Chains A and B, each alone.
Chain A
Amino acid sequence: MHETGVVLTDIRKSFGSLEVIHGIDLRIAEGSFVVFVGPSGCGKSTLLRMIAGLEEVTDGEIEIKGRNVTDLDPSDRGIAMVFQSYALYPHMSVRENLAFGLKMARTETAEIEARVKAASAILKIDHLLDRRPGQLSGGQRQRVAIGRAIVRKPDVFLFDEPLSNLDAELRVSMRIEIARLHRELGNTMIYVTHDQTEAMTLADKIVVLRDGRIEQAGTPREVYENPANIFVAGFIGSPRMNLLDAVWLGNGRVRVAGSEMSVPVTGEGLQIGEKVSFGARPEHLFVTDGGAGCIPAKVDFAEYLGGTQYLYCQLADGQPLIAEYRSGPEINAGSTIALSVNDNQRRLFGADGRRLT
C-alpha cells in the first residue's frame, strides 16, 4: 500500500508565453478526498486536467500510486474524470456509455457486463440502461457520468465542478451521494468546486489556490480556523471574514476603529504603530452591553433569514462590518450596538497578508 495516492512536484503550466500555474507541490494521501477551491481563473481546472493528462505539463512531475505518469496517456494513468457538462456520448445508450472505456481496453464481455451492472446498481440507474443521454434528466446524466468513471475502477477520481449544472436541491442530494460513494469505494478523489459547502463537507483536505499558486492546504477545520493568510481567511467562510484596519500597539494589543483590544499574538518583529489587519468572522461576533475590548457599531441594515440575522454595520471610522445575530431582543437598522469577539477567535494579519501568531 502506498502512502501517497498522488504526488505533484513543482508543476508548472504555460499557455504560450503566459504561465498560469507557477510551481505546485502537493501530496495527496491515498484514499483521501481533496477539494481544490479558489477564485475563477486561478487554475483549478488546469491543474486537474494536467493530473488527468488532458493538458500537458510544461514542467514538473506527476506521480500516481508511486508511478510517474507525467508523460502517459490519459487512459493509462488509472484516472477517471467527471465533467461539469457530463460529456456523455450522445449517440450511445447509457449501457454503451458505461461500457465504452472497457471496450476500448478490450475487457471481456462478461466482465464488462458485470461491472456495468455493479456500477448501475450503486448509482441506481439500472432502469435507464437502454436510454440515450438525451432522454435523461440532468441528475440522471450526472449519475451516468459518475458511473462511467466507476466502471473503470480508477485509482483516482477527478471531478471538475460536477454539480454546478444541477439545481440547488439536487446538488445537495448528489453531494451526499458522492460522499457515500467515497466511503464505499475508498478511492482517492480530487474535486474542483466553487461551492463552499461542497468543499467543507466533502473534503478531507482543502487546497486553496490563487493565481496558480497554493495559498494553503489543510483540513476544512484548519483552513477555516487557522487561515494562513488574509486571502484564505477572506475566501473560506460565508459571509466572508471581516478584515478591519488596525494598528499594532505592542504587548498583544491593537486598536481597531478607535477601540483597543487584546489579540492572541506575540507580535514578534512588529513595530509599535505598524498597520495590521484585524480579522473576525461574522458568526463569531456577538452583541454585548459594552465593556473592555468591544467595538461600537451602527447598524445600517439588518437582513432577517429566519434562523439567523445578518447585521450590516458601520464602525466609528466608517469601515463596514457584518455580524451574525442569532437571538436576543430585536435589533433594527439605525440602532447602535457594541460588538465583541472571543479572544481565541481574534485573528491578526500583517501588512504582507500573512497570518500573525
Chain B
Amino acid sequence: MTLSKMNRSNMSLSSRRRARKAFRAESTYHATGVAIALFFLAPFAITLLASFRHGTEARLPPLPPWPANGISLDSYRSLDTFGAGVWQHTFNSLLVSLATVALTVAVSVLAGYGFSRYRFPLKNVLFVLIIATLMIPFQSILTPLFIILARLGLNNSLFGLTLVYVTLQLPFSVFMMRNAFDAVPKEIEEAARIDGARDLKLLFRVLMPLVLPGIATVAIFAFLNAWNEFLAALVLLSSNEKYTLPVLMMAVRAGRLGAVNWGAVQAGVAVMTLPCLVVFLLLQRYYMRGLMAGAVK
C-alpha cells in the first residue's frame, strides 16, 4: 500500500519534472520564433504605420515611424494625385500580373507534361535550349523585344507587356513543371488510362492535383515577377494611364519640383506589398512542397 503510494508520488514527481523541462524547451522555441518573425515583420509594420501619418507629419524625419497625431489617409490621397490615379495603376498591375500567371501556368503545364511524358525528336536539345535562355540577361534583349512588339502593333499595350512577362517567366516555369510531372509515378497515369481517362481529362482529373505544388510555385513566381517588374514596363509603355505600379512609384519617388512626398512613397510601398503578401499567404503551403519536389528529383 505505502509502497505503491510512494511509487505513484515518485512517478508524478518525475513526470512533473519532465513536463517542466518540456515547457521550458517549448517556450524557448516559440520565443525564438516570435523574435525572428518580429525581425522580418518590422519593416512591413513600419511602412504600413508610417503611411497613415498626417500630411504635415509625413515631411518630418520618420521618427517615431507611427502616426503621432492620429490616423489619416492623407498619404494615400496624395498618392492618388500622381499619374492617372492609384486605382488605375493598381488595376493595370493586377491585370498584367494575373494574366501573366494564367498564361504562364497554362503554357508551362502543357509544356512540362509534354517534356516529361512524350518522346519526340530533339526533345532534350529543345529542353536545354529553353533552359539556356535563363542565362541571357533580359536587359540585353529589351531592344529587339521592343521592335518585335512594335511590329506586332503591341507596343504601349498591357497585353504586349504580358506577353513579354510570360516569355521571361516560361523557361523557369517549364523546368519546374517538367520536374513536377517527372515526380508523378508513371503507373498512376497508366492506371488512369486503363480507367478510361484520356488526354485533357487525364490531365485535369488525375495529374493536375498531383502537380499542384509545382503550379503554385510557378504561379507565385510569375505573379511576383510581373508585379514588381520595372524596366520592361518603363520601356514598353509610353502613355501615362497604362503605367503599372512600379513605374508610378518611380514618378512618386522622383517627387515634384524637387520635393519628395515621403508619405506618398510609404503609401505606395504599402499598396505594392499587400497583393504579394496575399498571394504568398494563399499559396505558401503548396509553394514549400513544390520546392521540395523539385529538390529531390
Contacts and interface: CB of A to CB of B under 8 A. Distances in A.
Contacts of B191: 81, 83, 87-89, 148
Interface residues of B, number: 17
Contact of A87 (B190, B201, B209): B190
Interface string B82-117: 000000000000000000000000000000000000
Contacts of B195: 75, 100-101, 104, 148, 152
Nearest to A91: B209
Contacts of B187: 83-87
Given A87-B190, A89-B206, A104 B196 contact: yes
A52 B192 CA distance: 12
Contacts of B201: 104
A90 interface: yes
A74 B185 contact: no
Interface string A74-99: 11000111011111111100000000
Given A89-B206, A91-B209, A91-B210, A52 B188 contact: no
B193 A87 contact: no
B36 interface: no
Contacts, number: 59
Contacts of B3: none
Contacts of A85: 185, 187
Given A73-B198, A85-B187, A87-B185, A54 B192 contact: no
Q: Which of B188, B195, B205 has the largest count of A CB atoms less than 10 A from its CB?
A: B195
B269 interface: no
A172 interface: no
Interface string B201-227: 100011001100000000000000000
A105 interface: yes
Interface in A289-348: none
B194 interface: yes
Given A87-B187, A89-B188, A104-B201, A81 B210 contact: no
Nearest to B189: A87
A53 B194 CA distance: 8
Interface in A195-250: none
B276 interface: no
Given A87-B185, A89-B188, A104-B201, A74 B210 contact: no
Given A81-B191, A88-B188, 6 more contacts: A83-B190, A83-B191, A89-B192, A91-B210, A105-B196, A152-B195
15 contacts: A53-B194, A54-B193, A73-B196, A75-B193, A79-B194, A81-B191, A83-B190, A84-B187, A87-B191, A90-B210, A91-B209, A100-B197, A104-B195, A105-B196, A148-B195
Closest 7 CB pairs of A and B: A101-B195, A75-B196, A87-B187, A104-B196, A91-B209, A87-B191, A83-B187
